[in-house]
Amino acid sequence: MMNPIWQRLQEQANNMQQQKIADLLKEPKRVEQYSFAVGDIYLDYSKNFIDQNVMASLLALADSVELTHAIKRLIAGEKVNITEDRPALHTALRRDLNKPLLVNQQDVMQNIGAQFDKMATIVDKLHAKRWLGATGKPITDVVNIGIGGSDLGPLMAVEALKHYQQSAVKMHFASNIDPVVISDLLKELNSETTLFIISSKSFSTPETLTNAQVAKNWLIAALGQSIENHLLAVTASPEKAQGFGVHSDNILTFEPWVGGRYSIWSTIGLPLAISIGMTHFKDFLKGASAMDEHFANAELAQNMPVILALLGIWYINFWQASTLAVLPYINTLQYLPDYLQQLDMESNGKQVTIHNQQTPYTTGPIVWGQVGTNGQHAFYQLLHQGTHFIPVDFIVAANSNSSLTEQHQQLIANCFAQAQALMQGRDDTKFAHEHMPGNKPSNILLLKKMTPFVLGQLLALYEHKVYVQGIIWQINSFDQPGVELGKKLADRLYQSIKNHQFDEQIDVSTQALIEKCREMSQ
């Protein structure tokens, strides 16, 4: 039977639909009530369809699934990833290294510390131009070859923190198996001064291994067999990296209980550490750790990840919102929507509960977005006057990394104006097509400034939000079995395309497409 709190929430949603957010905002102390800060992030969630009763019901929903206990289990390293029978301990990576944490009676902090030390040595050598290539020249370019969590975190964070760059070493990223990516990149690079980081938790992801093999062949063709100093690996499967030809001294590891999409805090963060240096990298970890502390200790009603999660549940399950737009008004957060897409959609794109039952409700939203103000001139029309109901997270910083203060004020004004326009709409128009219905909810995450600490806080905030939603939906947020089938089929179809042989398991449409490709490529 459906939890009675769900029924109550549905009734409350039906009643709320008659309300105007602009009227709700007239309540005394509304903003004080529905806003708070954690470290350098201030959340204003007053422009939502909520009141005290709705919040009380949402918090009761959280209590009904023993959320406080679930938070403790995550952070203590219990096996919350039940299908893979292991913890999801990304929080250990940013915790005080001197505080032991036992997993299977073993202190996991020691190896985390040892790997960070190894990472620091690599970073220092590169920064000091002491990491030399085969011909004795210092490395000038580093290419991260990885995909999914082994690409998006470093890519997003290196760009987000580009104003904190400490080194002249240029960072590049190759993820897609589309051959133009690696071949175009290699055209720009000098093999004598290029270092490749092969980032792969499993060290068996076809895209990554294919691109890595092209890079390795390119190095051998130019430098002969002595390419040891041109290859690094970051992986949870070090023996496979060695099998590929990476020297054991050049392999950084992390534990299998770090999920790919939660791995930016581990040695997978090496490209970021190279870019911003270890001191800033540690600040990034500290920001996440501050959010972990808050998540673990704040009461649910004042707990930022919990509040964001409950608002998401409110709209997804009771207002039929199927998407969430994340709109950063910080240009260097341009890859954040992509990063959050994997974090949220790979974690909560599930329809079977931890009790092996079909969920009777909708789960994870479609996450999408783009930086403002660019998005304003592309898809905001649909947000304002389209027929879909799309809650928005706006992200903006009070201070810029540029000294053009007035221009930054214009940026902030645009962000606040969009949130206001979505809420207020416009009914003073002459023609129906000009009418803007308004009443669209949004959160504003106001950051002090885009710093390593704040980025750490922000990413941990969304990680925990996703976990809370998974707990409420009773799904396992830490596996991704749905991506396996496509990988297997691609492997089989590659053999068919290459050898032009079909087996009866290939459907007729796909067979015809393979034929057409052959015809068109002749």
Positions annotated as catalytic residues are 346, 377, 487
- Site of tokens 């270092």: 195
Q: For strand 251-253 and strand 231-235, is the pairing parallel, antiparallel, or unpaired? A: parallel
The verdict on 154 binding ligand F6P (CB under 6 A) reads no
In the complex, least distance from residue 268 CB atom to ligand F6P, rounded to whole angstroms? 8
Minimal distance, residue 215 CB to ligand F6P, in Å: 15
Please, what is the minimum distance in Å from the beta carbon of residue 71 to ligand F6P? 23
How far apart (Å, rounded) are the C-alpha atoms in residues 200 and 313? 33
Going residue by residue from 426 to 465, which x/- string records binding to ligand F6P, judged by CB under 6 A? ----------------------------------------
Judged by CB under 6 A, the residue of 3, 166, 202, 229 near ligand F6P is: 202
Helices 304-318 and 52-64, packing angle to 10 deg:
100
Closer to ligand F6P by Cβ: residue 344 or 346: 346
Contact call for residue 289 and ligand F6P (CB under 6 A): no
- By C-beta, is 331 or 480 nearer to ligand F6P? 480
Q: How far is the CB of 146 from ligand F6P (least distance, A)?
A: 6
How far apart (Å, rounded) are the C-alpha atoms in residues 412 and 417?
Answer: 8
C-alpha torsion angle, residues 224, 226, 229, 230 (rounded to 10): 20
Q: What three-state secondary structure class fits 27?
A: coil
Angle between helix axes 508-520 and 484-499 (nearest 10 degrees) is: 50
Choose which of 39, 87, 148, 441 interacts with ligand F6P (CB under 6 A). 148
CA atoms within 13 A on the CB side of 389: 15
SS3 325: strand
State which of residues 201, 282, 294, 408 lies at the interface with ligand F6P (CB under 6 A).
201
C-alpha to C-alpha distance for 270 and 169, rounded to whole angstroms: 13
Contact 466/365 with Cβ under 8 angstroms?
no
Q: How far apart are CA 471 and CA 391, in angstroms?
A: 21
- Within 8 A by CB and 6+ apart from 368, the residues are 323, 324, 325, 326, 337, 341
333-372 residues near ligand F6P, rule: CB under 6 A? 346
Q: Pick the piece of the chain touching ligand F6P (CB under 6 A) from 143-151, 292-300, 363-371, 471-479.
A: 143-151
| Residue 260 binding ligand F6P, by CB under 6 A | yes
Burial 359-388 (b: 16+ CB within 10 A, else e): eeeebbbebbbbbbbebbeebbeebbeeee
Range in contact with ligand F6P (rule: CB under 6 A) among 197-205, 333-341, 376-384, 494-502: 197-205
Pick from 149, 154, 337, 375 the residue near ligand F6P by CB under 6 A: 149
Tell me phi and psi for residue 36, to 5 degrees.
Answer: -165, 165
Nearest CA to 144 out of 276, 279, 268 is that of 268
Which of these ranges, 110-118, 199-207, 223-231, 464-472, lies near ligand F6P under the rule CB under 6 A?
Answer: 199-207
Give, as ranges, the residues between 82 and 121 that touch ligand F6P (CB under 6 A). none
Query: Shortest Cβ distance from residue 420 to ligand F6P (Å)?
Result: 38
Q: Measured from the CB atom, is 81 or 208 closer to ligand F6P?
A: 208
- C-alpha to C-alpha distance for 51 and 42, rounded to whole angstroms: 20
User: Which of residues 150 and 477 has its CB atom nearest to ligand F6P in the complex?
Assistant: 150
Contact region with ligand F6P (CB under 6 A), list: 68-76, 145-153, 157-165, 426-434: 145-153
The reply to whether 490 sits near ligand F6P by the rule CB under 6 A is no
- Taking every pair of Cα atoms in the chain, the longest distance, rounded to a whole number of angstroms, is 75
Nearer to ligand F6P, 283 or 346 (CB): 346
Q: How far is the CB of 346 from ligand F6P (least distance, A)?
A: 6
Query: Rg for the chain (alpha carbons), in Å?
Result: 24
> What does the chain come to in residues?
522
Q: 7 with 61: CB under 8 angstroms?
A: no
261: contact with ligand F6P by CB under 6 A: yes
The residue among 315 and 462 lying less far from ligand F6P, judged by its C-beta, is 462
Q: How many residues bind ligand F6P (CB under 6 A)?
A: 14
- 263 vs 373, beta carbon nearer ligand F6P: 263
Among 12, 208, 418, 476, binds ligand F6P (CB under 6 A): 208
Nearer to ligand F6P, 406 or 484 (CB): 484
Closest CA to 397 of 35, 42, 39: 42
For residues 364 and 425, which CB has a smaller minimum distance to ligand F6P in the complex?
364
Type and span of the H or E element at 68: helix 67-76
Among positions 56, 102, 128, 483, the unique one binding ligand F6P when judged by CB under 6 A = 483
Site of interaction with ligand F6P (CB under 6 A): 147-150, 200-202, 205, 208, 260-261, 346, 480, 483
